[in-house]
Amino acid sequence: MSIFLATWVATWTNTPALLAEAIAPVDASVKACMAKPHPVGAFASPAKDGSTHVWMPVYGVGGRGYTAEEKCLMKAIATIALPPLPAGIDQLGFTVPTDGTDAAWAGWRDMTVTLVDPKLFAGCDRKARTVHIVLDTRKQHTRAWLPEWQFKGTPAIKACVTKALRKLPEPPAFPAGFGDLHLAIGVAP
């Protein structure tokens, strides 16, 4: 939990305003980490205690280790405080800073609405399960896909869930600075 924000004026019903409000107190420390300012990717995901954990992915570290800029940015990004993510959202990718003026926010402004009806997947399994769906952008289109790991050894369930997912309308285009969205949909048998 960040020391900067204890309460939020904006909520997940106005996501661009909430992200701007959460990023504002750490904006200067993020910029101080960089020789030349640029957008930085960040993720918000639920912590075990129900709060929201914000972190920065660092790719290709492998044998080279973290650069001084990456270390500084990871510390600064981790201080961004957000309220608990709405039900059904497992991870939200965004950039720092986020452009809240993009017209595409109209389709994603309210993150509290149910994005996928769990009834869509009813009958795919004899027991309750959580269906994980990833929404991201490829070739200027928002796509929905299913991570393979959730279907290990259950090809019939995978086929049913995949067929049901195809019934979803194409999600609206993501706004600038919106990375990806991971959904966890609780499904009854």
Q: Which domain holds residue 51?
A: 12-187
Residue 178 and residue 111 in contact, taking contact as beta carbons nearer than 8 Å? no
**Total-model pTM:** 0.87
Low pLDDT (below 50) residues in the chain? 1-6
Give the number of other CB atoms < 10 A from CB of residue 79.
Answer: 17
Tell me whether residue 1 is in a domain.
Answer: no
User: What's the pLDDT score for residue 114?
Assistant: 78
> Distance between CA 182 and CA 92 in Å, rounded?
6
Question: What's the start-to-end Cα distance of the chain, in Å?
Answer: 37
Query: With the C-alpha atoms ordered 22, 28, 29, 32, is the resulting torsion angle positive or negative?
Result: positive
Domain count, the chain: 1
Residue 5 in any domain: the answer is no
Q: Report pLDDT for 92.
A: 95
Asked if residue 2 belongs to a domain, the reply is no
CA-based nearest residue to 142, from 177, 109, 166, 171: 171
Distance CA 67, CA 185 (A): 37
142 within a domain of the structure (yes/no): yes
Q: Is residue 51 in a domain?
A: yes
pLDDT given for residue 5 in this prediction: 39
Determine the 3-state secondary structure of 133 from DSSP: strand
Separation of alpha carbons 21 and 96, rounded Å: 12
Residue 25 lies in a domain: yes
14: helix, coil or strand? helix
pLDDT in tens, 60-108: 787 788 999 999 999 999 999 999 999 899 999 999 988 888 899 998 9
The answer to whether residue 7 is domain-embedded is no
Report the C-alpha gap between 72 and 68 in whole angstroms: 6
Q: Is residue 159 part of a domain?
A: yes
CA 179 to chain centre: 7
How many other CB atoms sit within 10 Å of the CB of residue 105? 22
